[in-house]
Structure 1
Amino acid sequence: MVNTTDALSRARLLLQLGRPADAERELRGILAEEPQHSGAHGLMGVALVQQGRTDEALEESREAVRLAPDHWVPHYLSGQVHQRAGLTEEALRATAACLALAPEHVPAWDLLARVHLTRKDWPQVAAAARRGLELEPQDADLAGLLSMALTMLGQDEQARAVAAQAVGNDPESTLAHWARGLAALSGGDPGTAAGAFREVLRLDPGVEGARDYLVHALKQRNPVLRLLSQWRQRFVGGWRLLFLLPVLPPVIAVFAIIALLHWVAWLVESWTTLRLTRNRTTRLLFEGPAARVSLLCCALPVAGAVLLGLGIGLGLDGLGSAGTATMALVTPVQEAAHTGSPIGRRILYGWAVLLAAAALAAAVTGAFLPALLATYAALATVWFAAGVRKIFRPREAV
């Protein structure tokens, strides 16, 4: 004879500990004796969706709601299942049904905020988090969600204050430290952001994206790189400027300045990354491609400068132009490395190899014009890469 209350408690605890298969066994024991137990069906849905068995989880969730449509618990668990399954509209309806029956249930407001977060509906995230905090002012996760929403809404100062409150309420909350890191980055404080993301990884090394944010924060501690990155994001130019070239040829100068600005920014980023790969405390964050790309991009200007110097000294225009093309390769290599889509990354690396081959051919043959065109094409990769990234977007994790 199964003690239903104890078995449900064990199942909830096992789910909290990340052991859904063990929770499933407990719940099947309950359902074997009480097939109409709505709570067991609801928790079974959560256990199954955590194991990736989405169809079974949705069926269990629907059965729980059918058995107890006037009780808030099946709706709340259904919201969790649908959110985990990536069905945000269904999760939104289930959570709203839960709150209509139990408006004082704080975890439901947390779930509602997370559903809106998935939809990137930042005002609604903030509204749901604030409503939950009215009921439970010390809830660190709700404060973290509110801080994230405020950051995305451009309210940096308030976001940082709320994030600090969240960390103070619960120093062991991964979400609170994550929100603090995002708020610090947005507010121009990469040092604090790096500390926050380090704490995220300490608390949960498996948090997706935390390592990338930590690397970004560490790079942004370089004030020159931070300033150049801001300029690079602000001064990208646009394809519509091309239509002005026949009417206003001086617009070419605008393109040239923007391209050179990006080249300098990528070069400084390469140097910053290389320094971090040599630092004992940060080298493990940069194992693999990042270290190799930064080393290559620091070597290209040196090799290019040598070729340029030889070309000038020997009076070989083609060799000198090959040197400038070699230096300009920093832009296509970095644009490729910082492209999220695998297809887009392969296209841009292929483009970089093609330009490198043109520079090499110019150095061997002494052809001036191909090397010059390769230089212009390499610097103009800024716009080519933007188009590639627009067409081939990385898939977002659900």
Structure 2
Amino acid sequence: MSLERAVQLRDMHRPEEAEAMLLQHLAGSPEDVTGHVELALTRYQMEGRGKDALESIQRAIGLEPDIADFFAIQSLIYNKLGKDGDSLAAAERAIALDAEMAFGWAAKGAALGSMKKWSQAEEACREALRLDADYEFALNQLAIFLRMQGKVDGSSAEVAARLERDAEDPLAHANAGWASFQSGDLKQAEVHFQEALRLDPSMEYARMGLRETFKARSVLYRGYLKWIFFLQKYSDKQQLLIVLGIFLAYRLGRGLLASIDTRLAIALMVLYLFFAFGTYLASGIGGFLLLRDKAARLTLNRKEKQEGLFVGGGFFLGLALIGLSFFVFRPLVFPGAALVLACIPGGMFWDNDSKAGRWVFGGLMTLVYGCGLGLFLSILLTGSIGDTGRSFISTALLASFGSTWLAMIPGLRGQKGE
């Protein structure tokens, strides 16, 4: 009876109460496999409890190691923790145990999707739907994977079919919102995201979509999104060729502008940085734009507001100082460039759940600020950049660009679901 009540509480979005009841049940029946599975599913829903969920499902697997469903659940938990390789391996194990179980194929699709292997993820979901044509999880995932490949029409058709079957499904509305968002219909996207949040106020996927819809009111942010959607249509190798081509054009242009005016070369560098490191800057810049709108501001949490203020605000202030250097005081270009460069590690500092990551990226951000200020004061005192100034420039560039390499270390960015 306590297990049934715990499941009811979880379905009512009261996972803390469900967890307490399940722990009480397991205290009296520590070998109850069902109890461990339900505890894993409950913890899976709880913010920051991914590792605990993994521990619970591993306990269940230890008790009964040949149940395909358990490995599919383990795959989803690994996926939430950002451990894509382990997630795929667990899904493959589930399929090996029961190739006719749709859940295993859907879990494989989720793992492949996290690895950005969109076409393979689509195939896995279609296999899941071959086994169970009404499987909601696979249907919603398929809509996402089609959208990520730029197959907006196919994604919209899948979403429309899903909504026709169940107009009260919040995930289907969220997917409809993303499909409308990518096709450029921001008003319809907003309607679907708001409906999804009405049905499930805790759905982060829909809240994020509504937030992105508000950000897309900005011409600058819409341009960035079009670039991202454009790249999604190509393979990793093709994306690399596109980026390399733009880099070569930048190097050529910078050399030509440097021979005319150093400030023009710096301005081009800033534009290129926005292109090259837009992933790190876009969230903060979009957040800054939302801070100016009372309604849109409500979609931001505290960390996102801080990121918008310091990353987005710092970026635009830096651009303003660079602009002023052309008309007011030439050395202003250096603190302006420092503010822009600091946005790169700053984008990995404000909304970072890793304590170590906050120390590292916060330190790099502060170092770039310090180099910009030091260079500016050095020029004021000596009248030239000099060796000291060049050292400041090299250090700031190394700290800013080096932060993108450090960002590849999962422990410094915070794992999903931990």
Q: Secondary structure at the match of 1:221?
A: coil
Q: Give the alignment of 1:99-248 within 5 angstroms.
A: 99-100=98-99, 103=100, 106-207=102-203, 211=207, 213-227=209-223, 241=248
Q: Partners in 2 of 1:77 and 1:252 — Cα distance?
A: 61
Q: Partners in 2 of 1:354 and 1:220 — Cα distance?
A: 34
Give the TM-score taking structure 1 as reference length: 0.68
Residue 222 of structure 1: CA displacement? 2.0
Residue 350 of structure 1: CA displacement? 1.9
Q: CA RMSD in A?
A: 4.6
Indicate the residue corresponding to 1:61 in structure 2.
61
Indicate the residue corresponding to 2:383 in structure 1.
367
Give 5+ residue unaligned stretches, structure 2.
Answer: 44-51, 232-238, 350-356
Q: Partners in 1 of 2:255 and 2:314 — Cα distance?
A: 35
Q: Secondary structure at the match of 1:282?
A: helix
Give 5+ residue unaligned stretches, structure 1.
Answer: 1-5, 311-319
Partner amino acid for 2:90? Answer: A
In structure 2, the CA distance between the partners of 1:10 and 1:215, relative to structure 1 (3 Å rule), is closer
Indicate the residue corresponding to 2:95 in structure 1.
96
Indicate the residue corresponding to 1:281 in structure 2.
295
Q: Partners in 2 of 1:183 and 1:121 — Cα distance?
A: 19
Indicate the residue corresponding to 1:392 in structure 2.
407
Indicate the residue corresponding to 1:350 in structure 2.
367
Residue 189 of structure 1: CA displacement? 4.6
Residue 172 of structure 1: CA displacement? 4.1
Instruction: Determine if contact 2:339/2:369 at 8 Å carries over to the other structure.
Output: no
Instruction: Determine if contact 1:190/1:217 at 8 Å carries over to the other structure.
Output: yes
- Residue of 29, 33, 46 corresponding to 1:41: 33
Partner amino acid for 1:280? Answer: K
Indicate the residue corresponding to 1:259 in structure 2.
269
**Seq. identity, %:** 18
How many residue pairs get aligned? The number is 359
Instruction: Determine if contact 1:129/1:142 at 8 Å carries over to the other structure.
Output: yes
In structure 2, the CA distance between the partners of 1:369 and 1:223, relative to structure 1 (3 Å rule), is same
Q: Secondary structure at the match of 2:294?
A: coil
In structure 2, the CA distance between the partners of 1:11 and 1:264, relative to structure 1 (3 Å rule), is closer
Instruction: Determine if contact 2:125/2:141 at 8 Å carries over to the other structure.
Output: yes
Instruction: Determine if contact 1:98/1:108 at 8 Å carries over to the other structure.
Output: no
Indicate the residue corresponding to 1:23 in structure 2.
22
Residue 88 of structure 1: CA displacement? 2.0
In structure 2, the CA distance between the partners of 1:53 and 1:222, relative to structure 1 (3 Å rule), is closer
In structure 2, the CA distance between the partners of 1:276 and 1:94, relative to structure 1 (3 Å rule), is same
Q: Give the alignment of 1:289-300 within 5 angstroms.
A: 289-300=307-318
The Cα offsets for residues 304-333 of structure 1, whole Å up to 9 and x where unpaired, read as 6666544xxxxxxxxx22123344345214
In structure 2, the CA distance between the partners of 1:369 and 1:225, relative to structure 1 (3 Å rule), is same
Q: Give the alignment of 1:288-367 within 5 angstroms.
A: 288-302=306-320, 309-310=327-328, 320-339=329-348, 342=358, 343-344=360-361, 346-362=363-379, 364-365=380-381, 367=383
Residue 370 of structure 1: CA displacement? 6.0
Instruction: Determine if contact 1:116/1:125 at 8 Å carries over to the other structure.
Output: yes
Give the TM-score taking structure 2 as reference length: 0.65
Indicate the residue corresponding to 2:68 in structure 1.
75
Q: Secondary structure at the match of 1:288?
A: helix
Q: Secondary structure at the match of 2:295?
A: coil
Residue 136 of structure 1: CA displacement? 4.6
Residue 190 of structure 1: CA displacement? 4.9
Residue 9 of structure 1: CA displacement? 4.4
Q: Partners in 2 of 1:120 and 1:269 — Cα distance?
A: 20
In structure 2, the CA distance between the partners of 1:62 and 1:281, relative to structure 1 (3 Å rule), is same
Instruction: Determine if contact 2:71/2:90 at 8 Å carries over to the other structure.
Output: yes
Partner amino acid for 2:68? Answer: H
The Cα offsets for residues 140-163 of structure 1, whole Å up to 9 and x where unpaired, read as 432210011222333233223323
Instruction: Determine if contact 2:53/2:77 at 8 Å carries over to the other structure.
Output: no
Partner amino acid for 2:69? Answer: Y
Q: Secondary structure at the match of 1:397?
A: coil
Indicate the residue corresponding to 1:3 in structure 2.
none
Q: Partners in 1 of 2:274 and 2:255 — Cα distance?
A: 24
Partner amino acid for 1:338? Answer: G
Q: Secondary structure at the match of 1:278?
A: coil
Q: Secondary structure at the match of 2:348?
A: coil
Q: Partners in 1 of 2:25 and 2:283 — Cα distance?
A: 53
Residue 389 of structure 1: CA displacement? 0.9
Q: Partners in 2 of 1:118 and 1:9 — Cα distance?
A: 32
In structure 2, the CA distance between the partners of 1:143 and 1:290, relative to structure 1 (3 Å rule), is same
| Most deviating of 209-218 and 278-287 | 209-218
